[in-house]
Structure 1
Amino acid sequence: MSAWLSRKVSSLALNEIVGNDEQKQAMKDLQNEFEVTTDKLRTIVNQFIAEMKKGLEHNGATVAMIPSYVTGRPTGMETGTYLAIDLGGTNLRVCQVSLNGNGEVSIQQQKYRVPEPLKVGEMRALCDFISDCIDSFLTEMGTDPMEQVLQLGFTFSFPVNLTAINRGNLMQWTKGFACAGAIGKDPALMLQDSLRRKNLKVRVAAIVNDTVGTLMAHAYRDRSTFMGIIFGTGTNAAYYERMDRIPKWEGGQTKGDEMVINMEWGAFDDERRVLPVTVHDNKLDRESINPRFHIYEKLISGMYLGEIVRNVALSLIDRFLLFNGFSSAEFNKQWSFETAYMSTIEIDASSDLDETKRVLESILGITKTTLADRQMVKTICHLVGVRAARLSAAGVAAVMSHCDLLQKDCCTAAVDGSVVEFYPNFSETMTKALKELFGEDVDKKIKFAPSRDGSGLGAAVIAMQVSKGM
């Protein structure tokens, strides 16, 4: 929690902006455009609940609500050593996880940056890269994969329609990936084929969504954990659902009376019914590699927030309300304004906004910004960031309402990802929105607990459960 609490927003009221009347009016208009009122939140939550029920009832719904085949809750007493890999955004993470019982674990891991060409190349090449990384990792750890078959949990952070705990078909790519020869195919099987070609005795025991992994990792330590959420490059959530509330389940009898559901909530409201989508969001969506898909994710995720700020700023530049109408070659590039810059600017408390000036001038090449320019950019960052957190809270609130958690003892939502960890006041802003919806005592019913890099541990926990006959 410390990372969340140490980076406070340095707020700036609109009336403090030293710009002219037209600039101040532009900021007021933006405030109205990006505001998510409590009433609007309620509307979004109600629609979210309705979409969740559709996804549980039948396949092909916008919010897919994919059964994960994970049915048990770990006790925290399990032991053993397992492999896990986590493929999601920028990096591939390879882990060797030792479960030591009493909720204790030890992890050895290595991160490998995924080359950009592999994200849009052939799926076979990506799988070969993963296998090579596993081979290198095992060599570095001194583990001989020829002595015994190693059980592997494969965290694959993309929508997969599972047909078994270690089998499924890729539905679509997200988060900047667009590998050919993968849609409709089984990523676990393709990786297993690659491992076999390289003579590695590694068995893909489970294919796991990162949110399911985050949930299971924290559940090994805390049995009150009911939900896992990723707020990072992309966003998604998973939670425990009662089997009798999954009408579309056709997998037969299960050992338990509940199953983890991978919501795939990034696609919520792709029909554009209730989300407050602006022209700036539409520009981002239109220029993305997956236009008209995953609009919820695009409003709240680290991959996109900086680009929304850049689009807003460009619109003001075109109106000669920002930077005196001048941009820069760097600022004109798509994705050049990183979400990390928003965090830097949000916590800039200097009277002259010196850190904001450094980002705009030294990094992005915009010349001679005025204090009013910097104040306006700071305000834009704040508006986009607050909207993201409040919309994120709507998804959490929908799960809480659907599962009737307000009538139960306090539950834990395990969270991971760069946005919730590093973006200032993100969790506090979510909690504030939940209090508007459910009352001041809501923090007695749900607590957010960091589960940093939890998806790798969670995949290992699930591999353990599979190996022991989950």
Structure 2
Amino acid sequence: MEKNIFQLDNEQLKEIARSFKAKVEEGLNTENAEIQCIPTFITPKASGINGKSLVLDLGGTNYRVAIVDFSKTPPTIHPNNGWKKDMSIMKTPGYTREELFKEMADMITGIKREKEMPIGYCFSYPTESVPGGDAKLLRWTKGVDIKEMIGEVVGKPLLDYLNERNKIKFTNIKVLNDTVASLFAGLTDSSYDAYIGLIVGTGTNMATFIPADKIKKLNPSHKVDGLIPVNLESGNFHPPFLTAVDNTVDGISGNPGKQRFEKAVSGMYLGDILKATFPLEEFEEKFDAQKLTSIMNYPDIYKEVYVEVAQWIYSRSAQLVAASLTGLIMLLKSYNKNIRKICLVAEGSLFWSKNRKDKNYNIIVMEKLRELFSLFGLEDVEVDIKSMNNANLIGTGIGALS
């Protein structure tokens, strides 16, 4: 292929950054905006996090349980990395809330506790946070459909169920999503001026702390102030400069018109972009980011043109992430010009993927961030990109103790 149709120059990336910033502001002011900006009513302590919490992590079809202990630095997790269970059974038609709670309770019973503690519940499905730290389920995704839970809070009924069945009680429950959990995990190091949680794996999303007085859509009766964790739901951003190939991928997806940023960035769709670039070629059915990176890493096995285009798609994904981060950081700086050091907790297999022939994904993001920062006059800002083991267990534990 002569021309890299996926190439974005710095002027285009600057426009994407500005557009992202404007759309986040819109989401903070109005309901149902393109970038939703969902406030989470859990305010973690900036420092002095202490104690133990039980952490539940229900995401996709995996369920994890662990006790996170913050009496030491770094926090310890018992059992190591938590106990894991495959929960594909949740996708069975007619599966009930009672069955789900029983599965969850059975694993919890096996974990030894001496005293009462709070629960942090990392729940990776679309929810709306309610004051007090519970969350209402908006809809199921990922093939799950337990109808009786839709529109209801997910924390309190589970807490009641567990307390009826356990001698040693649980004191309360806080529900947060995986991106907010990554954001909270950064707080284990209090030396930063701002924090961002980022996920670039199968899907993509961002979360950060926003001053309450900048979130115009907040109901005054909630009486919240200070910094509020906000789950951006940034995958739904519609960036400028997408291509005809992106439009094809969008058209054949299950949700046309939605999640356009996610469809250009995340692991679930990068293979589809490559397939749509060569519509007359035969590709295997399952074709995701893992497949894309293996084409780049083992070029001798594949057609040269596939290797080249795979590289373009991979690089563009990382550059789009850098542009959106730049837009978000410009917004944070507009609220607080003293922000110098930012902690970015990055999660996801694509973000930390390796590229044997060229730069790794996280390096492309970092280099492009620096370029865009200098073009926007943000040279005084330093971003630390962190990879943390068990970030969502630690972040959820912090949420529970908030």
TM interval, shorter chain, is 0.7 to 0.9
Cross-structure match for 1:28 = 2
Bigger Cα Rg: 1
Which residue does the alignment assign to 2:76? 105
**Superposition deviation, residue 386 in structure 1:** 0.9
CA contact (8 A) 2:318 2:361 kept: yes
Instruction: For 2:161 and 2:291, locate their aligned partners in 1 and report how far apart those are by CA, in whole Å.
Output: 39
- The equivalences for 1:226-265 within 5 A come to 226-250=195-219, 251-254=221-224, 257-265=226-234
CA positional deviation for 1:246:
1.1
Q: Give the match for residue 308 of structure 1.
A: 273
Tell me the amino acid that sits aligned with residue 409 of structure 1: R
Preserved CA contact (<8 Å) 1:165 1:207: no
Return 5+ residue gaps in structure 1 as ranges. 1-26, 318-326, 358-372, 466-470
| Structure 2 letter corresponding to 1:285 | D
Q: Give the structure 2 partner of residue 9 of structure 1.
A: none
Whether contact under 8 Å (2:66, 2:77) holds in the other structure is: no
Equivalent pairs, count:
388
- Cα distance, 1:168–1:444 mapped onto 2, change above 3 Å: closer
Report the CA distance between 1:459 and its aligned residue. 0.8
Which residue of the partner structure matches residue 213 of structure 1?
181
Structure 2 Cα separation of the partners of residues 159 and 275 of structure 1: 28
2:263 corresponds in structure 1 to 298
Secondary structure at 2:36 match in 1: coil
Equivalent residue, structure 2, for 1:19 = none
Q: Does 1:338 align with 2:288?
A: yes
**How far off its partner does 1:435 sit?**
2.5
Q: 1:357-383: CA deviations, max 9, x gaps?
A: 2xxxxxxxxxxxxxxx52122112111
Counterpart pick for 1:86 among 37, 57, 60:
57
- Aligned: 1:157 with 2:124: yes
Give the residue type in structure 2 aligned to 1:135.
D
The reply on whether 1:385 has 2:314 as its aligned counterpart is yes
Match of 2:384 among 427, 434, 447: 447
Greater shift, 229-238 or 177-186, is seen at 177-186
**1:178 offset after TM fit, Å?**
4.5
Q: Specify the alignment match of 1:418 in structure 2.
A: 349
Residues 239, 261 of structure 1: 8 Å contact kept: yes
- How many angstroms does 1:135 deviate by? 2.0
**3-state SS of the aligned residue for 1:419?**
coil
Distance change in 2, residues 1:73/1:103 (3 Å)? farther
Within 1, Cα distance between the matches of 2:244 and 2:153?
Answer: 36
From 369, 372, 380, the counterpart of 1:437: 372
Map 1:73-222 → 2, pairs under 5 A: 73-75=45-47, 77-108=48-79, 109-115=82-88, 118-119=90-91, 121=93, 124=96, 128-129=99-100, 131-139=102-110, 141-143=111-113, 149-174=116-141, 176-181=142-147, 182-189=149-156, 191-192=158-159, 195=162, 201-202=169-170, 205-222=173-190
CA distance in 2, matches of 1:187, 1:80: 24
Partner-residue secondary structure (3-state), 2:351: helix
- Tell me the alpha carbon deviations over residues 345-366 of structure 1, each in whole angstroms, 9 at most, x when there is no partner: 3233xxxx34xx2xxxxxxxxx
Instruction: Provide the C-alpha distance between the structure 1 equivalents of 2:163 and 2:112, rounded to a whole number of angstroms.
Output: 20
C-alpha separation in 2, matches of 1:122 and 1:38: 51
| Deviation at residue 194 of structure 1 after TM alignment | 5.6
Q: Counterpart of 1:274 in structure 2: which amino acid?
A: P
Per-residue Cα deviation, 1:414-457 (whole angstroms, up to 9, x for no partner): 11111112243111111222223221875952121112331111
Q: Which moved more, 1:191-200 or 1:149-158?
A: 191-200
Structure 1 counterpart of 2:2, which letter? Answer: K
Could you tell me whether the CA contact under 8 Å between 1:415 and 1:449 is conserved in 2? yes
Matched-pair contact (CA < 8 Å) for 1:85–1:152: yes
Q: Which amino acid aligns with 1:207?
A: V
Q: Which is worse superposed, 431-440 or 451-460? A: 431-440
Is the alpha carbon distance of 1:142 and 1:162 closer, same or farther for their aligned partners in structure 2, counting shifts above 3 Å? closer
For 1:37 and 1:300, how far apart are their aligned partners in 2?
17
What's the counterpart of residue 14 of structure 2? 42
Shift of 1:299: 1.5
Does the 8 A contact of 2:200 with 2:348 survive in 1? yes
1:146-203 superposed Cα distances (whole Å, 9 cap, x missing partner): x7654211111233221224333233445x3452425433333454466468669556
Q: Distance in 2 between matches of 1:68 and 1:133?
A: 24
Q: Residue by residue, what CA displacement relative to the aligned partner does 1:195-239 show, whole Å, maximum 9, x if unpaired?
A: 468669556611111111111112123441511111112111111
Q: Which amino acid aligns with 1:436?
A: E
Residue 422 to residue 264, structure 1, CA distance change in 2 (3 Å): same
Deviates more, 1:160-169 or 1:414-423: 160-169
Secondary structure at the counterpart of residue 346 of structure 1: helix
Alpha-carbon distance between aligned partners in 2 of 1:397 and 1:131, rounded to the nearest angstrom: 44
Superposition deviation, residue 62 in structure 1: 1.7
Q: TM-score, normalised by structure 2?
A: 0.86
Q: 1:236 is paired with a residue of what secondary structure?
A: strand
- Amino acid across the alignment from 2:137: L
1:276, CA displacement in angstroms? 0.7
**Secondary structure in 2 matching 1:386:** helix
CA displacement at 1:402 relative to structure 2: 0.3
Q: Distance in 2 between matches of 1:277 and 1:120?
A: 38
Gaps of 5+ in 2: none
In the alignment, is the contact (CA less than 8 A) between 1:73 and 1:223 conserved in 2?
Answer: no
Instruction: Give the CA deviation at 1:290.
Output: 2.9
TM-score by length of 1: 0.74
Q: Is the 8 A contact 1:417 1:452 kept in 2?
A: no
1:292-320 CA-partner distances (Å, limit 9, x unpaired): 3212112211222223223334x142xxx
- Distance change in 2, residues 1:164/1:87 (3 Å): same
CA shift for structure 1 position 40: 1.5
Let me know the Cα RMSD of the aligned residues.
Answer: 2.8
SS at match of 2:60: coil
Runs (4+) of structure 1 exceeding 6 A deviation are: 196-200
Cα pair 2:44 2:401 within 8 Å, conserved: no
2-structure distance, mates of 1:170, 1:277: 34
